[in-house]
Amino acid sequence: MIDRDGVYGVLAEDGTFSPVYRVPEEASPPGTPRWTSDLGEHVWDSCVAFVRHAERPAHFLRDSDGIGVTDLTDRGREDARRLGTLLRGYDVSLSSSPVPRCVSTCVSVAEGLGRDLPVERREEVGGYGTALYLDGYAGHVYREPGTTAVLGNLSGRPIEGWHPLEECVRRMMDVILPFLSREGVLTLCVSHDLFVAQLVGGTVGRFPSDRWISYLDGILVCRRGEETYVVWEGEEHPYAGPLPAADISPASPPRRVVLPPSGPLPEVRFSAPGDIVWAGPPSDGKSLLVDSRGYFRHVRADGYPVYGRTYDWAGDFRDGVAPVAVEGVGATFVTDFGDLLHNRWFREVRGYREGVAAVRDGKGWFHIGMDGEPLYPERYDSVTDAEGGRCLCTSGGVAVERILAPVSDEPMGP
């Protein structure tokens, strides 16, 4: 992987350069959820917004046992409060998965609304028994990531521990449809990405495998007279019942990438033969892959993907973290659990070293910690990676040494 004039690409043996990621002028991470504008653009008598919770801390494989009790980050609470301000003027009712981050999202939304609203906790909104059941799934959580499991379920390949797609959607709609009897009310149901993705695919019939559900992203289920319909990304779809499968083919067009010689191609679970065309050497127990459409992903040594989606560019894993990038959006980091490390996006990023990463925004290069926050306010023309807690930063041809952080022997973590 090399960079030429703001373009990341692959350099083949014959000198052919294939661009894969063009550095944007500014990072453009997901902003206001599309469904909030859909609320005012579509006519409804009653509406349910079925959404993912706000931002939570990232998980690594080594600490994924605690994922069920993870709460929101400070930024997540602020984003949920901001969502509440957008919903002022609507008669809002709140329903939530009993998981803390979902309940906290509802509480923060109520704060943004400026109202003291009760939060109805419903196991069916995002707990075990709706889409998946605990016995059987617990054995898969360390192997197959939830995103991959959901994409399999959407395509008609349910795994042990998951109800088939049609059953998942029916169970969710059994909760949602009674809410539509509330005339003029917007019911906000806060759930999880694994549930929202299946509700989208099982009602719309389409969920691209190169797209995922961002924090506070969601779908609308509406009633207009006697008609029930769903709204996803601005489009109305009549609801006639849950679907047994959905089209998960990628939305991004194939691209021609001329590749250098590949290492041994690993056997990737749930990938069709020939889907993987290039593999890099293992790093931190994971291999960087390029698929037959020219997009990037990672796979573990046991053949399980690290996450379900693909990226326009990706780098090697180190200490459980890898850099990734999305065309037109920016670059960030994922963990070996498939989570976004801190949901902070930049124009360019380099891999973490000693718990510190070099990143670039519209003003220049600087360093961030594991929480994605800058370690200092200055910006530079170039910076080196951390080594022994120090780095060199260059601006206008003048290099200065900075002390970034004490070196720790402890493993990196969120």
Res. 34: pLDDT tops 70: yes
242-252 tens-digit pLDDT: 999 999 999 99
Domain count, the chain: 2
Structure confidence at residue 414 as a pLDDT band (50, 70, 90): very low
pLDDT digits (tens, 9 = 90+) for 273-284: 789 999 999 999
3 vs 76, which has greater pLDDT?
76
Percent of the chain residues topping a pLDDT of 90: 77
d(CA 372, CA 79): 16
Retrieve residue 27's tokens: 């990072």
Q: Does the pLDDT of residue 142 top 80, yes or no?
A: no
Are 334 and 227 in a shared domain? Answer: no
Q: Are residues 193 and 318 in the same domain?
A: no
Neighbours of 180 (CB within 10 A): 19
Domain assignment present for 409: no
What sign has the CA pseudo-torsion 403, 409, 412, 414?
A: negative
Of the two residues 316 and 66, the one the predictor is more confident about is 316
- Asked whether residue 223 falls in the same domain as residue 297, the answer is no
CATH number of the CATH domain containing 161: 3.40.50.1240
pLDDT, one tens digit per residue, over 206-234 is 999 888 999 999 999 999 999 999 999 99
Which ranges constitute the DSSP H helices of 335-395?
A: none
Q: Which tokens hold the place of 32?
A: 């206001």
Does residue 103 contact residue 119 with C-beta atoms inside 8 Å?
yes
- Is residue 194 pLDDT above 80, yes or no? yes
Please tell me whether residues 225 and 107 are part of one structural domain.
yes
> Whole-model pTM?
0.91
- The per-residue pLDDT for range 238-275, each reduced to its tens digit, is 999 999 999 999 999 999 999 999 999 998 987 877 89
Domain presence at residue 163: yes
pLDDT band at 407 (very low <50, low <70, confident <90, very high): very low
SS3 134: helix
Mean pLDDT lowest for which of 66-80, 118-132, 341-355? 118-132
Looking at 222, 238, 254, the residue that finishes a domain is 238
The verdict on residue 180 lying in a domain is yes
Element (H, E) at 81: helix 74-86
Q: In this model, does residue 63 exceed pLDDT 90?
A: no
pLDDT of residue 25: 93
309 with 382, same domain: the answer is yes
For 94-133, how does the pLDDT look when each residue is reduced to its tens digit (9 = 90+)? 999 999 999 999 999 999 999 999 999 988 887 767 777 6
Domain hosting 120: range is 34-238
Q: Residue 371 pLDDT more than 60?
A: yes
Instruction: Name the maximum alpha-carbon separation found in the chain.
Output: 70
